[in-house]
């Protein structure tokens, strides 16, 4: 097989697996649409609704410390649904077997899966007045604040979600201090990191931190790929300087701007959709990337030297989280889904399929070892404990950040 054949093959693989870049804008809109189309053409499960009771029995005893804000020990799962569920979510983001199981167990005949390709797109739809159309979705956690402010979300009734008690509190308590009430609007789905990808056969330096990344960048000028997402790109300079990645302080951002100015000429591409392809053909040898697609590179013999590094000076962890939209057309189905998906066995299957870390402490025990030890999926416990990971806040709208980003993105490569 020639290199070109492999490329074409990998292109088709990408098309078939739009979830590779969960946050890729173009992949999301175009290729995801294609795969949704293909999915729509595939005959669905014809399994007749079973009369058996839902197999996801509520889990009763759990440590009190792991309980979400107001979980009462007497929480009881919803078993009767409206027979329909309308989901609004990232493309290919739920295991299809789990969907079939849910349909069977809860006698749901109409399961609609609508797709958004970015949080911004979802927000824009909701702001344009699309409430009451969907039951559940999984936006990224920092968007919960704006969604609550816009009255787009239902406050969760923990009494209907016994499995919520299994969620690791450090993820459930995403919002701190006076924003803590926002944690009553979401149920963590999965999470991951932004980091550095290296082709170690080309990059000989041991790049461990964002500071290293900036230091070696001039040496690999024109061979660096960066995701086209301001929220992720600002992580690198701010963390290299030792600041919060959510900083909107003009002085700190000014210093970050200088680092980005120096980096810009060395960048080959701002690319959220095919950064892994650029790493694969070595047009890029170092990248500021998400984890999507990196494992595929590691598994292929010709790109097995690919390495994913969680920078030691700290980085961003993103978390997608289940929400119930305001005025859901099928509230019982919505609660049934949220509880069902956090059933440990169901959740472990989600982790294996999506290859993103689960926040469910019981599900982790069922996840295969090699997945737990893979840094693109799970963060090593010591890094997690070090407190160097920081959740993103919704700061992408800060005018100074917009200005710096515009300067950076219009000056890359020259």
Rule CB under 8 A: which residues touch other proteins?
A: 3-4, 7-8, 11, 15, 25-26, 29-31, 34, 118, 120-121, 123-124, 127, 146, 149-150, 222, 228-230, 268-271, 273-274, 277, 281-283, 396-397, 399, 402, 405-406, 409-410, 412-414
CB count in 10 Å sphere of residue 205? 14
Q: Which is nearer to other proteins, 86 or 220 (CB)?
A: 220
Q: Which is nearer to other proteins, 23 or 355 (CB)?
A: 23
Q: Which is nearer to other proteins, 356 or 405 (CB)?
A: 405
Q: Which is nearer to other proteins, 2 or 65 (CB)?
A: 2
Q: What is the dihedral of CA 229, 115, 320, 208, to 10 degrees?
A: -40
Q: Which is nearer to other proteins, 369 or 414 (CB)?
A: 414
The packing angle between helices 96-105 and 344-354, to 10°, is 150
DSSP-derived secondary structure letter, 5: H
DSSP 40-87: HHS----PPPP-SPPS-PPP----GGG--TT--TT--------SEEEE
Minimum distance, C-beta of residue 86 to other proteins, in the bound complex (Å)? 23
Minimum distance, C-beta of residue 250 to other proteins, in the bound complex (Å)? 17
Minimum distance, C-beta of residue 136 to other proteins, in the bound complex (Å)? 21
Phi, psi of 253 (to 5 degrees): -65, -35
Q: Are 49 and 98 in contact (CB under 8 A)?
A: no
Minimum distance, C-beta of residue 207 to other proteins, in the bound complex (Å)? 22
* Tokens 């054949």, residue located: 5
Q: What is the dihedral of CA 330, 334, 336, 340, to 10 degrees?
A: 150
Q: Which is nearer to other proteins, 70 or 283 (CB)?
A: 283
Q: Which is nearer to other proteins, 55 or 124 (CB)?
A: 124
* Tokens 């849910």, residue located: 102
Q: Are 258 and 250 in contact (CB under 8 A)?
A: no
Nearest to 285 by CA among 379, 392, 159, 201: 201
Beta-carbon contacts of 94 under 8 Å, excluding residues fewer than 6 positions away, are 87, 113, 341, 350
Minimum distance, C-beta of residue 61 to other proteins, in the bound complex (Å)? 40
Minimum distance, C-beta of residue 43 to other proteins, in the bound complex (Å)? 23
Beta-carbon contacts of 6 under 8 Å, excluding residues fewer than 6 positions away, are 302
DSSP-derived secondary structure letter, 325: B
Q: Which is nearer to other proteins, 385 or 402 (CB)?
A: 402
Minimum distance, C-beta of residue 226 to other proteins, in the bound complex (Å)? 9
Tokens of 250: 């003009």
Q: Which is nearer to other proteins, 56 or 229 (CB)?
A: 229
Minimum distance, C-beta of residue 190 to other proteins, in the bound complex (Å)? 23
Q: Are 139 and 88 in contact (CB under 8 A)?
A: no
Nearest to 338 by CA among 158, 161, 196: 161
Minimum distance, C-beta of residue 10 to other proteins, in the bound complex (Å)? 10
Q: Which is nearer to other proteins, 122 or 338 (CB)?
A: 122
Phi, psi of 199 (to 5 degrees): -95, 100
Minimum distance, C-beta of residue 220 to other proteins, in the bound complex (Å)? 12
Q: Which is nearer to other proteins, 110 or 407 (CB)?
A: 407
Minimum distance, C-beta of residue 269 to other proteins, in the bound complex (Å)? 3
Complete edge-to-edge strand list for the sheet that includes strand 195-199: 267-270, 224-226, 286-289, 195-199, 306-309
């Amino acid at each position: 097989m020639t290199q070109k054949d492999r490329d074409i093959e990998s292109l088709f693989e990408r098309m078939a697996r739009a979830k590779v870049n969960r946050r890729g804008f173009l992949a999301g809109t175009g290729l995801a649409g294609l795969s949704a189309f293909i999915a729509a053409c595939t005959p669905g499960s014809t399994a007749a609704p079973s009369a058996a009771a839902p197999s996801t029995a509520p889990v009763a005893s759990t440590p009190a410390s792991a309980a979400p804000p107001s979980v009462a020990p007497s929480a009881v799962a919803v078993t009767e649904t409206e027979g329909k569920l309308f989901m609004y979510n990232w493309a290919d983001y739920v295991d299809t077997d789990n969907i079939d199981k849910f349909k069977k167990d809860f006698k749901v005949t109409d399961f609609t899966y609508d797709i958004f390709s970015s949080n911004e797109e979802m927000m824009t739809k909701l702001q344009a007045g699309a409430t009451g159309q969907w039951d559940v979705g999984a936006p990224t956690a920092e968007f919960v604040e704006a969604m609550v402010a816009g009255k787009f979300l239902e406050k969760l009734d923990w009494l209907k979600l016994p499995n919520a008690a299994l969620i690791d509190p450090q993820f459930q308590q995403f919002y701190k201090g006076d924003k803590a009430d926002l944690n009553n609007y979401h149920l963590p789905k999965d999470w991951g990191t932004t980091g550095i990808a290296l082709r170690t056969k080309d990059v000989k330096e041991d790049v461990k931190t964002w500071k290293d990344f900036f230091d070696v960048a001039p040496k690999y000028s024109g061979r660096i790929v960066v995701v086209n997402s301001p929220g992720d790109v600002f992580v690198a300079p701010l963390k290299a300087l030792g600041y919060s990645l959510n900083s909107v302080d003009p002085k700190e951002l000014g210093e970050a701007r200088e680092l980005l100015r120096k980096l810009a000429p060395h960048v080959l591409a701002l690319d959220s959709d095919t950064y892994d392809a650029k790493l694969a053909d070595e047009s890029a040898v170092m990248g500021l990337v998400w984890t999507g697609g990196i494992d595929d590179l590691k598994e292929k013999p010709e790109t097995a030297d690919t390495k994913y590094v969680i920078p030691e000076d700290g980085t961003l962890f993103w978390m997608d989280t289940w929400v119930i939209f305001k005025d859901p057309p099928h509230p019982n189905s919505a609660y049934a889904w949220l509880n069902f998906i956090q059933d440990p066995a169901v959740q472990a299957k989600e982790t294996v399929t999506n290859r993103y870390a689960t926040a469910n402490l019981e599900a982790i025990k069922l996840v295969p070892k090699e997945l737990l030890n893979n840094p693109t999926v799970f963060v090593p416990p010591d890094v997690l404990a070090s407190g160097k990971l920081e959740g993103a806040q919704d700061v992408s709208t800060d005018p100074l950040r917009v200005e710096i980003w515009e300067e950076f993105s219009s000056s890359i490569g020259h």
